């Protein structure tokens, strides 16, 4: 078989129309061709295919064995193309396709479960893949085209937003202090961070970067003593519950806190972080914009609750 025109989608559609109708004339009417144009194109296909594709009968035509073989493959190709067109249309409408989402750990635990439940209820044909990471890592993955949307924050040491990324502020989140239940200050409603200057802090600061904890403590006139360097929340709270130190916990995570840990507000001395949704500045996916709307709605409802 020489050449590639025999596999051209238009040629395959013509082959399929003639095979289904059994007539050059009927296929011409279906595809808005002239009968002579159909005859010429079929003859050209047969030349490139290396032999007859249709047997000419007194009334109409029927597929030869070679034509039947090619028609089977033509139907597969046309079906795949039709599905691709449908999926592309759904992707552009935001009702289908794949949506790659990244989020930092607290957002994964506190914001994404309800958001994804609501989103999947209204857009069930959008396939969401969710990955977790540090905010600066998520921004980098967004820039490199590996994510379509990222939930990021400026905790613990700020957020750099490069060209090509736009951010939408989602919420401002107060950081509470987590204490063991037998800590002397555990029963208070509000404490000043300066009252914790003798405590051991649990934190995992990025190398060479000042954190919100250190800035807040510096404003209060002391340097926090960090004796246990742990970044994962479950581990942090385990050490707190054991009375081995205190740590900062975002308010949005408060519903998921274990019962043997007390959360206390730091009042005016409390560090606060901002949570953002980051998107590609150029042509974000419609499904990503729809997820942003759901995130805003669920966040607003959380505040009311």
Residue 127 pLDDT more than 80? yes
Whether 14 and 4 have beta carbons less than 8 Å apart is answered as: no
Predicted local distance difference test score (pLDDT) of residue 304: 42
| Separation in Å, CA 43 to CA 61, 66, 68, 123, 139 | 13, 14, 16, 47, 56
Whether 174 and 270 have beta carbons less than 8 Å apart is answered as: yes
* Residues 6 or more apart in contact with residue 123 via CB below 8 angstroms: 94, 95, 287, 290
pLDDT in tens, 144-170: 999 999 999 987 667 889 999 999 999
Centre a 10 Å sphere on the Cβ of residue 66 and count the other Cβ atoms it contains. Answer: 16
Strand pairing partners for 225? 200
Instruction: List alpha helices for the chain, DSSP H.
Output: 9-21, 24-31, 35-49, 65-93, 105-110, 112-122, 135-143, 212-219, 233-241, 286-304
pLDDT in tens, 238-280: 999 999 999 999 888 888 888 999 999 999 888 888 999 999 9
Does residue 42 have a cis bond before it (omega within 30 degrees)? no
Enumerate domains of the chain plus CATH numbers: 5-93 (1.10.10.10), 97-170+273-304 (3.40.190.10), 172-272 (3.40.190.10)
Dihedral over Cα of 143, 284, 290, 251: its sign:
positive
Predicted local distance difference test score (pLDDT) of residue 94: 73
Q: Tell me the percentage of the chain whose pLDDT exceeds 90.
A: 57
Is 0.85 topped by the overall pTM? no
Whether 98 and 147 have beta carbons less than 8 Å apart is answered as: no
pLDDT in tens, 40-90: 999 999 888 889 999 999 889 999 999 999 999 999 998 888 777 766 776
The candidate with the shortest Cα–Cα distance to 6, out of 38, 33, 32, 44, is 44
The candidate with the shortest Cα–Cα distance to 127, out of 83, 187, 170, 87, is 87
The structure tokens listed for 123 are: 């857009």
Predicted local distance difference test score (pLDDT) of residue 305: 46
From the centroid of its chain, how far is CA 125? 14
**What does the chain come to in residues?**
305
- Half-sphere exposure for 212 (CA within 13 Å, toward CB): 22
Rounded CA-CA distance 56/25 in Å is 13
Predicted local distance difference test score (pLDDT) of residue 88: 73
| Separation in Å, CA 200 to CA 178, 210, 248 | 12, 18, 12
Q: How confident is the model at residue 6 (pLDDT cuts 50, 70, 90)?
A: low
Rounded CA-CA distance 115/110 in Å is 10
Rounded CA-CA distance 151/275 in Å is 7
Cα first-last separation, the chain? 69
């Amino acid at each position: 078989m020489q050449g590639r025109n025999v596999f051209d989608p238009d040629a395959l559609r013509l082959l399929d129309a003639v095979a289904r109708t059994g007539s050059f004339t009927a296929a011409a009417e279906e595809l808005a061709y002239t009968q002579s144009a159909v005859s010429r194109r079929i003859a050209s296909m047969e030349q490139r295919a290396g032999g007859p594709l249709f047997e000419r009968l007194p009334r109409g035509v029927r597929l030869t064995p070679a034509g039947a073989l090619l028609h089977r493959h033509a139907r597969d190709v046309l079906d795949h193309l039709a599905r691709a067109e449908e999926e592309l249309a759904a992707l552009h409408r935001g009702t289908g396709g794949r949506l790659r989402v990244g989020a930092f750990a607290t957002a994964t635990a506190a914001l994404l479960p309800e958001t994804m439940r609501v989103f999947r209820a209204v857009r069930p044909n959008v396939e969401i893949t969710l990955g977790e990471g540090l905010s600066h890592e998520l921004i980098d993955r967004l820039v490199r085209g590996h994510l379509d949307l990222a939930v990021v924050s400026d905790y613990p040491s700020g957020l750099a937003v490069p060209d090509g990324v736009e951010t939408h502020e989602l919420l401002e989140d107060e950081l509470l202090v987590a204490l063991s239940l037998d800590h002397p200050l555990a029963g208070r409603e509000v404490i000043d961070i300066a009252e914790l200057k003798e405590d051991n802090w649990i934190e995992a600061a990025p190398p060479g970067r000042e954190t919100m904890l250190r800035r807040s403590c510096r404003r209060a006139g002391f340097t926090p003593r960090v004796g246990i360097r742990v970044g994962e929340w479950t581990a942090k709270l385990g050490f707190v519950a054991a009375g081995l130190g205190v740590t900062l916990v975002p308010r949005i995570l408060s519903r998921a806190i274990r019962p043997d840990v007390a959360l206390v507000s730091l009042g005016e001395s409390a560090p606060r972080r901002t949570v953002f949704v980051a998107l590609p500045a150029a042509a974000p996916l419609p499904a990503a914009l729809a997820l942003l709307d759901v995130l805003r709605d669920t966040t607003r409802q959380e505040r009311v609750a």
